[in-house]
Amino acid sequence: MRPDPSNGQTGETRQTYDQKLEFVLQRAAEVFAERGFHRASIRDLARATGMSLAGHYYYFQSKNEALFRICEHVLRLILEIFEERAKAIDDPLERLRLLVLTHLEISLSHMREMKVLSHEAESLRGEYLARIRQTKKRYYDSLVSILREIRGDRRGNGRELRLAAMTLFGSMNWIYTWYRPEVDGDAKRLTDVMLGIFLRGFLGGDGAPARRAGRTPRHRSR
Amino acid sequence: MRPDPSNGQTGETRQTYDQKLEFVLQRAAEVFAERGFHRASIRDLARATGMSLAGHYYYFQSKNEALFRICEHVLRLILEIFEERAKAIDDPLERLRLLVLTHLEISLSHMREMKVLSHEAESLRGEYLARIRQTKKRYYDSLVSILREIRGDRRGNGRELRLAAMTLFGSMNWIYTWYRPEVDGDAKRLTDVMLGIFLRGFLGGDGAPARRAGRTPRHRSR
DNA sequence: TAGGTATTCGAACGTTCGTTCGAATCCTTG
DNA sequence: CAAGGATTCGAACGAACGTTCGAATACCTA
């Protein structure tokens, strides 16, 4: 039904079905990221791909399936690259660094897909939503188990690890709202800064805040 | 055209126009937060308020104006409460704590409005978008100037302060995706944890990460 | 109680949406 | 060149959308 060879788009080179599917989903991610999933129409997508409206239904059964594939793809991309890289690493600190670095690298190279994932995935339904949540949970569990290993069992219950994990995820997943490549540097730099802040805080912390570094005057001095 | 007294909704007590407007916008925030702004219809809102579809246009001129009012309201709420509280405080560390505490308190008490603000505000257009961005920028500038005061001029250029500010905003604004009151505690506890992590990291940091706390074995020990 | 304003409503308009379907076209294979 | 599957398309469908408008109702004041 879907053999390898098929025609190209602009006549440049031949494309397989899978290559064209990837092309369509990439454009879809751009359109969904820019206009928002529900406001973006298949007609907008058609304008972005150069194909006809109806032609897209050869590559996905519904608009929701397109959304699901975009989210699933970038989520698995992060998870699989991280797990592959982390195979040979035992030090939990280094594993944490790998997780953050991978997350940020993919975030910058697939910013539109990540925006779609963060913004629109939870509006999926049924099986689609269940599978995305399952993969998210696998990723979340990875982070928590690393944090537990770093902190050891000496203190910190599950609730504090949960808060720490969510704090870190929040910092990383917020990036698409503010990142500008010419100002903010590459993934390595972001990793240094964010992990630097998080790690010192997490390692030095016992749940109590690092307050009162100086006196606390109750009046304004100037 | 719009005098004070008007009729109530369920016949319980009298409502002023402003009270009913507030009621409508609150329900709208719930509907927008649950279904997403573009997927939610005025008919959904009508179901939530008990009013007719057309009746809502007595309280706003368009669906976009309703969105704008929700975002503007909760954003100004945070900013004004923080500025009022911070009036009498001079210590920048204490001011930072007030900013985080206020942000988290409002986030928990107005979670749906905050979700709408985080999720949908950037899809506004024209004057609405400009005003929201302006208020956001005022808020952002407040945080950066506090951070600059804390760190002093001895190191850290504007770019690092920007990254630190965005890191903190990310942690706080991500809350609506995971917060469960029975597990995660109140705003005070969240403030202690998040500010604890951030402050130790920010104070101790010089841009380089806190890496290599132990050795870094390249093989798995078990 | 009468008049007027504030508030609410039913019904409809024009537009846009996701999706379908049968026909047309392309491309590979024999 | 002929056949057949792979791919693309134009056209249309019913549904849902935001918004409008004139009429109806509720309420306050005189």
pLDDT value, residue A156: 62
A94-124 residue pLDDT tens: 999 999 999 999 999 999 999 999 999 999 9
Question: Taking Cα atoms as reference points, which of B6, B20, B135 lies closest to residue B75?
Answer: B135
- pLDDT at A54 exceeding the cut of 70: yes
A217 beta carbon < 7 A from strand C?
no
Measuring from the CA of residue A57 to each C1' atom, give the nucleotide at the shortest distance.
C19
Instruction: Give chain A positions within 8 Å (CB) of B205.
Output: 193, 196-197, 200
Instruction: Give chain A positions within 8 Å (CB) of B90.
Output: 217-221
- 8 A C-beta contact, residue A101 and residue A187: yes
Which of B174, B176, B183 should one mutate to test binding to chain A, selecting the residue with the greatest count of A CBs within 10 A?
A: B174
pLDDT value, residue B192: 97
Residue B26's Cβ-count burial label (10 Å; 0-12, 13-18, 19+) is middle
Average pLDDT, chain A: 88
B64 beta carbon < 7 A from strand D?
yes
A160 touches B at CB < 8 Å: yes
Q: How far is CA A142 from CA A31, A47, A86, B170, in A?
A: 31, 40, 11, 21
pLDDT value, residue A209: 47
B180 touches A at CB < 8 Å: no
A207 beta carbon < 7 A from strand D?
no
Q: Mean pLDDT throughout A184-212?
A: 83
Q: Mean pLDDT throughout A88-92?
A: 96
pLDDT value, residue B206: 57
Sequence-distant (≥ 6) Cβ neighbours of residue B89 within 8 angstroms:
A218, A220, B95, B98
Sequence-distant (≥ 6) Cβ neighbours of residue B73 within 8 angstroms:
B25, B113
Give exposure, B83-119, as e/b (b: 16+ Cβ within 10 Å).
eeebeebbbbbbbbbbbbbbbbbbbbebbbbbbbbbb
∠ CA A202-A181-A194, nearest 5°, is 5
∠ CA B136-B140-B142, nearest 5°, is 120
DSSP for B80-145?
A: HHHHHHHTT---HHHHHHHHHHHHHHHHHHTHHHHHHHHHHGGG--HHHHHHHHHHHHHHHHHHHH
Residue among A163, A169, A199 minimizing CB distance to B193 = A163
In this structure, how many other beta carbons lie within 10 angstroms of the beta carbon of residue B77? 16
In this structure, how many other beta carbons lie within 10 angstroms of the beta carbon of residue A76? 13
- 8 A C-beta contact, residue B82 and residue B70: no
Both tokens assigned to B1? 């055209």
Taking the CA of residue B6 and the nearest CA in chain A, the distance in Å comes to: 36
Structural domain boundaries in chain B: 15-58, 63-203
d(CA B104, CA B34): 20
Nucleotides of C under 7 A from a protein CB: 5-12, 16-22, 26-29
Taking the CA of residue B94 and the nearest CA in chain A, the distance in Å comes to: 7
3-state secondary structure of A107: helix
Q: Mean pLDDT throughout A86-94?
A: 96
Q: For B15-58, CATH number?
A: 1.10.10.60
Measuring from the CA of residue B50 to each C1' atom, give the nucleotide at the shortest distance.
C8
A212 touches B at CB < 8 Å: yes
pLDDT value, residue B214: 36
d(CA B34, CA B30): 6
B209 to A217: CB separation less than 8 angstroms, yes or no: no
Nearest CA in chain B to A90: B220
pLDDT value, residue A204: 83
Pick among 2.40.160.50, 1.10.132.20, 2.40.50.140, 1.10.357.10: CATH of B63-203: 1.10.357.10
B184 touches A at CB < 8 Å: yes
- Maximum Cα–Cα distance across chain A: 77
Q: Return per-residue pLDDT of chain B as tens, 222 residues.
A: 333 233 333 334 568 999 999 999 999 999 999 999 999 999 999 999 999 999 999 999 999 999 999 999 999 999 999 999 999 999 999 999 999 999 999 999 999 999 999 999 999 999 999 999 999 999 999 999 999 999 986 666 788 999 999 999 999 999 999 999 999 999 999 999 999 999 999 998 654 544 444 333 333 332
Q: Mean pLDDT throughout A165-177?
A: 98
Pick among 1.20.1600.10, 1.10.10.60, 1.10.3720.10, 3.90.550.10: CATH of A13-58: 1.10.10.60
Sequence-distant (≥ 6) Cβ neighbours of residue A74 within 8 angstroms:
A106, A110, A113, A114, A116, A117
A135-155 residue pLDDT tens: 999 999 999 999 999 998 666
- pLDDT at A212 exceeding the cut of 70: no
Q: How far is CA A72 from CA A32, A136, A140, B96, B154, in A?
A: 15, 10, 15, 38, 45
A217 to B90: CB separation less than 8 angstroms, yes or no: yes
Both tokens assigned to B9? 């909704």
pLDDT value, residue B204: 83
A173 beta carbon < 7 A from strand C?
no
B210 touches A at CB < 8 Å: yes
Question: Taking Cα atoms as reference points, which of B170, B186, B201 lies closest to residue A167?
Answer: B170
Both tokens assigned to A114? 């990540």
In this structure, how many other beta carbons lie within 10 angstroms of the beta carbon of residue B222? 3
Sequence-distant (≥ 6) Cβ neighbours of residue A200 within 8 angstroms:
B200, B201, B204, B205, B210
d(CA B144, CA B156): 12
CA pseudo-torsion sign A82, A83, A87, A90: positive
pLDDT value, residue B26: 98
Same fold, B15-58 and B63-203: no
Helices (DSSP H) in chain B: which residue ranges? 17-35, 42-49, 63-86, 92-109, 111-120, 126-151, 158-173, 181-184, 187-204
Both tokens assigned to B15? 């409502």
Domain A64-201 = CATH 1.10.357.10 = yes
B207 to A217: CB separation less than 8 angstroms, yes or no: no
- 8 A C-beta contact, residue A129 and residue A122: yes
pLDDT value, residue A216: 35
∠ CA B44-B49-B55, nearest 5°, is 85
What backbone phi and psi angles, to 5 degrees, belong to B5? -80, 145
A window 26-65: Cβ near strand C (< 7 A): 40-44, 53-54, 57, 61-64
